[in-house]
Amino acid sequence: MIFLRTKRIKIIGLSIILIFALVLMLLYSIYAKQTHAVLISYSNMKEIAYNVYVEPELRESEKAELLQYVQSSNVKIDEIFGKKEAAPVIIYAKTKEALEKYANSDIGQTYYYPWNTYIVIGPRGFNENVIAHEFTHSELRKRLRNSSRVPIWFDEGLAAMADGRFTDSEMTWNTQTNDGKEPIDFDRLDSPSAFQPNAESHINYELACYEVSRWYGIVGTPGLLNLIDSLNKGGNFVDVYKGIERNLSNAAGGKR
């Protein structure tokens, strides 16, 4: 009887271990790219500067170019936020093999975790625009206790403002709003799908970029930091966003 009970316990224990192993294998197959990115420091990728990783065979000229893009992007973050606080990990995956290991797109992919952000840059994302864009997302998340406190259009609009690619934002805004006569449905832009690659995503980026650029042009870095601080204290985004603009606009008007 004792022998049967012991045998049953062993079978149950082995079954639990097997199930646990299968679950781990399943999770790894689903999140393999993210896992590789998080474990980048244990890979064969070479760290050429703090938190900047490249393939070992990358040419020296490309390494220098990447570091220049990173430095220029850091300057942009300093200009927008006052001082860069986030230290995201940059992984430049140039070859097909590296891309298959770390990302699903040849532009790149970013993975957000509570402890850090991992930015994978592909061949089509190898430029200052994309890196500055992703740095902006990383910086905003670093400063916000809860990134969901800001709508997606603001997050994407701020990043689009930093990266400098959306130069037709004012023209797009005028076209979409009939020269300001018709409002933009920002609820529609508060969705990840609005900024996924599709026929309308570029227009949505232009609209978000215009609105955030307009707002930031009035409130500047102090207003942005005030917004972040107020949201961290539990403020409502719409109320705080409009209130900061109204107060700074009134203050500027009073100085004239």
Tens of pLDDT, residues 153-202: 999 999 999 999 998 999 999 999 998 889 999 999 999 999 988 879 99
Residue 203 located in a structural domain: yes
**pLDDT above 60: residue 2:** no
Asked which of 143, 172, 202 is the last residue of a domain, the reply is: 143
**What whole-number distance in Å separates Cα of residue 74 and Cα of residue 51?**
13
Six-digit token pair at 180? 């300001």
Residue 24 located in a structural domain: no
CB 151 within 8 A of CB 125: no
4-57 pLDDT, tens digit per residue, is 566 566 666 666 665 544 444 444 445 699 999 999 999 999 999 999 999 999
Given this model, what pLDDT does residue 46 score? 98
Structural domain for 49, as ranges = 32-143
Number of domains observed in the structure of the chain: 2
Asked which of 143, 158, 183 is the last residue of a domain, the reply is: 143
Same domain, 216 and 227: yes
46-49 vs 52-54, strand pairing mode: antiparallel
Residue 43 located in a structural domain: yes
Asked which of 114, 143, 172 is the last residue of a domain, the reply is: 143
E strand spans, the chain: 46-49, 52-54, 89-92, 108-112, 117-121
Residue 207 located in a structural domain: yes
Sheet holding 46-49, edge to edge: 46-49, 52-54, 89-92, 117-121, 108-112
Q: Single out the residue of 86, 126, 110, 136 nearest to residue 37, CA to CA.
A: 110
Q: Side-chain half-sphere of 61: how many Cα atoms within 13 Å?
A: 0
Same domain, 44 and 119: yes
Same domain, 239 and 251: yes
**What whole-number distance in Å separates Cα of residue 237 and Cα of residue 223?**
13
